[in-house]
Structure 1
Amino acid sequence: MTGTSLRLVAHGHTAALRRARFGGTDDGLDEGGLRAALAQAHTDPDRRGHLGVHDTCLSSPAAAARQTADTFGLLPTIETALADCDYGGWSGLSLEEVAGAQPQALHDWLSAPDSAPHGGESVTAVRDRVGGWLDEQLGAGRRIIAVTHPLVIRVAVVHALGLPTATYRQLDVEPLAVVRLTSQGTRWQLRLGAPRAG
């Protein structure tokens, strides 16, 4: 059986990400984010040493994810399952603004993955969405690059390893980070270290 290789790539910095805003602004990479993505692309012009050969590239619908893929010379297909969390009424607000206006709601959201006081998706709902997509890729036998959001990558890793959803809070995913998962068709493995070409 041919294995599946999935590289989850976090999009570069945006103004909203730097200001700790809850989604809602479909902005592209900011100047520093674009510079960092270009620097990685120029360090390894065809990205083979870093991302490896791929059969398909997918992207969140967000401008930042599409722009990150474009900067790396990838031609992504939009995959809605890789979209960021829907933050409902908090969309576009900063963590500080929500903490000032709705401290208990923010506490509930941070402490309970099933909570969605903003009226959008809970973290559990994001995990269900992303996890369903991830399960479909198990036996795909393809080499996939998926450019998406830090939260999406965090819940994808938690789902892939069968961990409690609350564990996502213990994972940090930096902009432009790459997480590699592999599968022979029955379960995912997290692979750490430099991937081989191919």
Structure 2
Amino acid sequence: MTSRVTFVSPATSPSLRQARFYDGDSIDDIGAARAREAAGSLAAPARVVLSPSVRCGETAAALGFDGVETPELGGLDVGRWRGRTLDEVGAAEPEAVGHWLTDPGWAAHGGESVRDVCERVGRWLNSAQHMDGRTVAVVEPEVVRAAVTLALGLPEASFWRLDVAPLTATELSGRSGRWNLRLGRPLVASAQGDNAAL
């Protein structure tokens, strides 16, 4: 049995546009419009799962999906940095930001480490290999980073080297503990492209 998981990153929100650590804001009007335009661009899934965040729920709804929030697929908990911009945190805590970007086990901001996120996403991926049919997962960008890091067997330090654009699909297909990767492509209205094959 081959399992397929299509990870979809959320539409744009003010925090994303401002390079601010996600604080629960909604997707913006432009992001919502683009997501609605892309509705129908993905093949019908057997199930839809979501990061438990406002913007992932709103993105899924705009795409025409009704999904189930899945805690293992939550975004990275950044602790006391939530709601602040990276520039603000870098100015106030430059050494801490340096550790955060280079040490996958570091979590002194009071949240999670990159390793923590990779481990929980890895547990979910292991269970996903036993699911029949296609899964669409509308998830935070860090979840996509973790999934790609794990699928390719990359060092955890590679996590921050992977950029995930809004409203892109990244597909993993696999069996027997091995995943193949189809890199993120923008979601577009089905009449404009061939994303329906995803």
TM-score with structure 1 setting the length: 0.90
Q: Structure 2: 5+ residue runs without aligned partners?
A: 186-193
Give the alignment of 1:17-28 within 5 angstroms: 17-23=16-22, 25-28=23-26
Aligned residues: 189
AA matched with 1:149: E
AA matched with 1:14: S
Paired position in structure 1 for 2:84 = 93
Paired position in structure 1 for 2:42 = 51
Deviation at 1:136, TM superposition (A): 1.1
* Deviations, residues 102-151 of structure 1 (Å, cap 9, x unaligned): 11111111111111121100111111111111111112223100001111
1:40 is aligned to 2:38: yes
Paired position in structure 2 for 1:12 = 11
Aligned Cα root-mean-square deviation (Å): 1.6
2:9 and 2:144 in contact (8 A); partners too: yes
Paired position in structure 1 for 2:181 = 190
Deviation at 1:37, TM superposition (A): 1.2
CA distance in 2, matches of 1:191, 1:33: 23
SS in 1 for 2:48: strand
AA matched with 1:114: G
1:130 and 1:155 in contact (8 A); partners too: yes
SS in 2 for 1:151: helix
Residue 105 of structure 1, aligned match among 87, 91, 96: 96
TM-score with structure 2 setting the length: 0.90
Give the alignment of 1:132-171 within 5 angstroms: 132-171=123-162
SS in 2 for 1:178: strand
* Deviations, residues 41-83 of structure 1 (Å, cap 9, x unaligned): 2xxxxx2xx3212100011110100111101111101111111
1:123 is aligned to 2:121: no
Paired position in structure 2 for 1:63 = 54
Segments ≥4 residues shifted beyond 3 Å: 192-198
Q: Structure 1: 5+ residue runs without aligned partners?
A: 42-46
Paired position in structure 2 for 1:44 = none
Deviation at 1:191, TM superposition (A): 2.6
1:10 and 1:150 in contact (8 A); partners too: yes
SS in 2 for 1:51: coil
Paired position in structure 2 for 1:178 = 169
CA distance in 1, matches of 2:151, 2:127: 12
2:126 and 2:177 in contact (8 A); partners too: no
1:138 and 1:187 in contact (8 A); partners too: no
AA matched with 1:75: D
Deviation at 1:195, TM superposition (A): 5.8
1:57 and 1:145 in contact (8 A); partners too: yes
Deviation at 1:196, TM superposition (A): 6.2
